[in-house]
Amino acid sequence: MAYCLRIAALAAISFTNLLAQSAAPQGASVAASDTAPARVITFDVVSIKLNKSGDPGNSGRSIDDGFIYTNWTLRNLIGGTYGNRDDLISGLPGWADSTHYDIQARVAPEDVDAYRKLRGAAGRRVYQQFLEDYFKLKVHIEVKEMPVYELVIAKGGPKFLPSDPGNANAPVLKLPDGTPLHGGGLMGRGQLAGSQMSISFLLSALQGASGRGVVDKTGLTGKYDFALKWKPDQGPGSDDTSADEPDIFTALEEQLGLKLVPATGPVKSLVVDHVEMPPEN
């Protein structure tokens, strides 16, 4: 099974595996809060290497002082960082889809505490700044009114519970290579699982599976443990063994107690104005 991990919102996103570290020539920097920053978060150690494995899946995880991505294309990175579906990202060169990277980044020791506290826009900005510094990424956003889905709580309420990291008996998510994933998520074709994850992680999967932008109207703001399995879209001649699973709409309501409701709303499209292939280090 090929797994793809996407993150969306905090400075502790969930992605994975191990690669060598090497000192970066220049640290990425970004404000540590949404208001006037008291300090700056700096990536002190960064490693960017080509992944030539040919594996179609990618993975990632957070670590206490940074993040690790394995086998990510630039389009993957931009989509996860800005929260855009692939079809809502335009202007990328061909290598952004064909070149895969293993990336590890760590903040300076004195910034670890501030990094762990990042939330919301400040957390997203850390990763956006990383792409700007190391891929020379420049983008602008265009907003259009388009069909969307609103994610709401179905009748009967949610069928998943808030995370309880102190529960020693709680199941531990593992990556395909067996690496334990604490406070992270796994996303594969027709299935996902999240541990200590916000609803924003679920939104990423729902956008891809439904083909529309998804707006969170659940009011759920905590961290949760959940799993979802559905029948992915199947092309002609598909031998997908998940054919007996329900569609994403049914699965979402039956398994998680949530519902997608058709609506119209503003959708952000990301336009890439400039990007450069980073040197390996």
Share of the chain above pLDDT 70, in %: 76
Whether 2 maps to a domain, the answer reads no
Whether 221 maps to a domain, the answer reads yes
User: What pLDDT does residue 279 have?
Assistant: 86
Q: Give the integer Cα–Cα distance in Å for 138 and 134.
A: 11
- Amino acid identity for residue 227 in this structure: A
Q: How far is CA 18 from CA 21, 71, 186, in A?
A: 9, 11, 17
pLDDT per residue as tens digits for the range 137-158: 999 999 989 999 999 999 999 9
Whether 3 maps to a domain, the answer reads no
Whether 22 maps to a domain, the answer reads no
Beta strands, E only, 109-229: 138-153, 161-162, 173-174, 180-181, 185-188, 191-197, 213-216, 224-229
Whether 9 maps to a domain, the answer reads no
User: What pLDDT does residue 178 have?
Assistant: 63
What angle do the packed helices 120-135 and 74-82 form, to 10 degrees?
160
Residue with the larger pLDDT of the pair 167 and 69: 69
pLDDT per residue as tens digits for the range 66-101: 999 999 999 989 987 887 778 889 999 999 999 999
Is a pLDDT exceeding 50 seen at residue 21? no
Whether 253 maps to a domain, the answer reads yes
Whether 155 maps to a domain, the answer reads yes
Q: Which domain holds residue 179?
A: 29-274
User: What pLDDT does residue 11 have?
Assistant: 26
Number of structural domains, the chain? 1
pLDDT per residue as tens digits for the range 229-274: 999 874 434 445 556 889 999 999 999 999 999 999 988 899 999 9
> pLDDT-derived band of residue 15, with 50, 70 and 90 as boundaries?
very low
Q: What is the mean pLDDT of residues 186-198?
A: 81
Whether 184 maps to a domain, the answer reads yes
CB 41 within 8 A of CB 118: yes
Question: What pTM was computed for the model?
Answer: 0.61
